[in-house]
Amino acid sequence: MKNLFIYFGLTLFILTSCKEKIEVEMENAEPLLVVEAEVTTETDSSYVRLTLSANYYSSEPNPIVKTASVSINNIPFTFVPASNIYKAPAGFIGKTDTIYNLLVSYNGKEYKSQAKLEPMFQVDSFFQTWKEAQGFLPAGYSLSYAAFDAREPIKYTYYQQFLYDSTSKSDTSDGNLIFFDNSLTPINQAYNFEIPFLRLNSGAEYVAVFRSVDKNMYEFLNAFGNQNPDIPGPFQVPPANLPTNITGGAVGYFATYDVKRWRYKVR
């Protein structure tokens, strides 16, 4: 599959719609508004988080903005102190093929963004296949999913995988992020895709989360990956001048995605 990237320990930032570059001075700069906004197809999961930028060398947490006016498609989002985020009224759910407009008013300025919520491709089922040890992979079960994609290429998907931990009784991530597109998978035709680099034993419980994203996420992840090459010490590149789709002088992102979740227990 073309454009398959695996980033280890990567914190996801999803970008959609147009982009605007913001020059960020690392020392003694005036604080900028930092926007983290998401609209998803999961009920009550959409939110907006607002903070202010801090000195790059500061160890203090970024100040939280609690007094902004926030709305998406004219629906007001209210600040929730318990979680320090702005939330929509109960029952809010994003709709695919819908354009969403974010408006944030703070400190006499307006910040805007627009994004379309792209639909995910169809995942019909997961199935297992026994594989003997090969290379660095031990013997075990591989997992594949059966899918059908009616979308025209190129469409992008962000994929996360988890394993259920019976000790903590929670789903734990291995830190991997898989990002791919449908340029080399069949269109309007059923196909199977094997999860790469995966071997599981009987009884393991696997969790898969698919999120549709657009081209701007691909570009952002490339930029973010270049700023985080996993090189220790003085050779680590500090993050700066990453793309943003927020206008008005803020940094951050406004993301929209269709979410599909699967849970499979290996027999």
Is 246 among the domain residues?
Answer: yes
Is 222 among the domain residues?
Answer: no
Same domain, residue pair 89 and 149: no
Domain ranges, residue 199 = 122-213+261-265
Same domain, residue pair 27 and 54: yes
Residue found by looking up tokens 């029952």 in the block = 91
Same domain, residue pair 114 and 129: no
Is 5 among the domain residues?
Answer: no
- Average pLDDT in the 190-216 region? 93
Residue 244 is predicted with a pLDDT of 86
Same domain, residue pair 157 and 107: no
All residues at 6 or more sequence positions from 94 whose CB lies less than 8 Å from its CB, including other chains: 39, 40, 41, 46, 100, 117, 256, 258
Alpha-carbon torsion (34, 214, 174, 163), positive or negative: positive
Q: Rounded CA gap, 256 and 211, in Å? A: 9
Same domain, residue pair 59 and 98: yes
Is 6 among the domain residues?
Answer: no
Whether pLDDT at 229 is above 60: no
Residue 1 is predicted with a pLDDT of 47
Same domain, residue pair 84 and 25: yes
Same domain, residue pair 97 and 72: yes
**Who has greater pLDDT, 230 or 113?**
113
pTM recorded for the entire structure: 0.80
Domain count of the fold of the chain: 2
Residue 265 is predicted with a pLDDT of 97
Count CB atoms within 10 A of the CB of residue 239: 14
All residues at 6 or more sequence positions from 143 whose CB lies less than 8 Å from its CB, including other chains: 126, 127, 128, 129, 194, 195, 198, 200, 206, 264, 266
Q: Rounded CA gap, 125 and 128, in Å? A: 10
Confidence of residue 30 (pLDDT cuts 50, 70, 90): confident
Same domain, residue pair 186 and 240: no
Query: By percentage, how much of the chain surpasses pLDDT 90?
Result: 66
**Who has greater pLDDT, 229 or 10?**
229
Distances (CA, A) of 27 to 33, 131, 180, 217, 248: 16, 53, 36, 28, 21
Is 2 among the domain residues?
Answer: no
Lowest mean pLDDT among 99-113, 204-218, 246-260: 204-218
Query: By percentage, how much of the chain surpasses pLDDT 70?
Result: 79
pLDDT (tens digit per residue) in 145-193 = 999 999 999 999 989 999 999 888 899 987 677 888 999 899 999 999 9
CA torsion 209-51-236-16 (nearest 10°) is: 50
Lowest mean pLDDT among 13-22, 96-105, 134-143, 157-166: 13-22
CA torsion 146-124-44-84 (nearest 10°) is: -10
Whether pLDDT at 58 is above 50: yes
Lowest mean pLDDT among 78-87, 130-139, 164-173, 215-224: 215-224
pLDDT (tens digit per residue) in 66-120 = 999 999 999 999 999 999 999 999 999 999 999 999 999 999 999 999 999 999 9
